Amino acid sequence: MYTAIETENMAMIRASAREFARLEIKPYIMEWDEKQYFPVELFKKMGNYGFMGILVPEEYKGAGLGYQEYITILDEISKVCGSIGLSVAAHNSLCTNHILSFANEAQKQKYLPKLATAEWIGAWGLTETGSGSDAGGLATTAVQEGDFWIINGSKTFITHAISADVFVVMVRTGDKGDKHGVTAFIVEKGTAGFTAGMKIDKLGMRASETASLFFDNCRLHKDQIIGDVGNGFVQALKLLDGGRISIAALSLGIARGAYECALRYANEREQFNQKIYDFQDVSFTIAEMATKIEAAELLVRKAGDLKDRHEKVTKAGAMAKLYASEVAVEVSNQSVQIHGGYGFTKDFPAEKFFRDAKLCTIGEGTSAIQKMVISREIKKDVL
């Protein structure tokens, strides 16, 4: 069982991420949110701190850290801005980690140093208009012509679709529904026949860029395939096990940010000649918020510990993602309520946490999908 003891090194990493978020993110969060501005320059700075190659070994210019450090960094950044936390998660755990986990050495040498230093921003494409939770039903296809593959189709809800420099995309190369009928390709920005659509106008996570991708006879050499032809879906499922830890850590940070702003407000706001924190209804609500955040962190840390020990993390990751994301929604909702009318305004941060939190129950597998994964794993335990 994982015991949550913060080492001296972890404390230093937390302090570094916290200070970066305070100085480089906090002053601009509402401006970025209102304009749906994706601050590429911020991520370049994060590359200098090692925040864009957290799990990448030092030989590829990464930070060479583990999942506990990754969780800590995401927690601190997301506590200030969920949008930035989401983009850090997508870059690290999806695009970069797919190449790190499954690419050949030549591909790693070519792409990982640029991704780990944020010289290049990464994106990952699985979701399509007709296949969200049903990830096996991809309609985007690749047909082989000699040493090349011709791709046609589209992807949607892709983080960094417009600004990214390198993309890992899953494309159907076999029969629909066949788990060995999907292949992962690396696509560079500017490749002929490969374009991005308009930015999607979202409820929350507005500073994390989201758009569609389009393939119109996009011609890729076989050297751009990650692993073997037909292994893309299997790779994606393995990657999502770790990706769920990312979203759980993101959820944890959002919940913590919403809780802390509610706690501050409750100790400042007076009604009936006393601080509203002194009303039992408010103090008990805050006590429940704190307890659920603590429980969520233990689930997230346990999943991270299993991942660092290279043990199976399917059930633990799904549990962490399910619980932490639902806690983020609940806590942010309660934070708005504690703020009263001010919680419904953009003068206080509660409303942004409320808007950002909802994505955590949807992205990288809805809550229903997490329950399906968990129930399948539980069934294996008794058979």
Going by their DSSP bridges, the two strands 182-188 and 210-221 should be labelled as unpaired
Strand partners, 275: 270
Q: DSSP readout, 56-103?
A: S-GGGTS----HHHHHHHHHHHHHH-HHHHHHHHIIIIIIIHHHHHH-
Tell me the pLDDT tens digit for each residue of 298-353: 999 999 999 999 999 999 999 999 999 999 999 999 999 999 999 999 999 999 99
pLDDT at residue 6, as a whole number: 78
How far, in Å, CA of 129 to CA of 213, rounded?
Answer: 11
pLDDT > 70: percent of the chain: 98
How far, in Å, CA of 35 to CA of 185, rounded?
Answer: 32
Average of pLDDT values for 34-42?
98
Average pLDDT value for the chain: 96
pLDDT at residue 70, as a whole number: 98
pLDDT at residue 306, as a whole number: 97
pLDDT at residue 132, as a whole number: 73
Nearest to 168 by CA among 186, 141, 150, 192: 186
pTM for this model (two decimals) = 0.95
Tell me the pLDDT tens digit for each residue of 107-151: 999 999 999 999 999 999 999 998 877 767 899 999 999 999 999
* Between 272 and 176, residue with greater pLDDT: 272
pLDDT at residue 1, as a whole number: 41
Q: Where are the beta strands (DSSP E) in 282-376?
A: none
Average of pLDDT values for 239-262?
96
Tell me the pLDDT tens digit for each residue of 4-21: 567 888 999 999 999 999
Nearest to 47 by CA among 146, 117, 114: 117
Q: What is the DSSP letter of 126?
A: -
Average of pLDDT values for 167-188?
93
Tell me the pLDDT tens digit for each residue of 188-245: 999 999 999 999 999 999 999 999 999 999 999 999 999 999 999 999 999 998 889 9
Going by their DSSP bridges, the two strands 122-125 and 166-172 should be labelled as parallel
Asked if pLDDT for residue 3 goes beyond 60, the answer is no
Tell me the pLDDT tens digit for each residue of 164-173: 999 999 999 9
pLDDT at residue 383, as a whole number: 67
Active site residues: 364
How far, in Å, CA of 53 to CA of 117, rounded?
Answer: 7
Nearest to 128 by CA among 120, 116, 119, 137: 137
Task: Please say whether the beta carbons of 360 and 322 come within 8 A.
Answer: no
Average of pLDDT values for 176-199?
94
Length, in residues, of the chain: 383
**Which pair of tokens denotes residue 168?**
């890992």
pLDDT at residue 45, as a whole number: 97
How far, in Å, CA of 33 to CA of 253, rounded?
Answer: 18
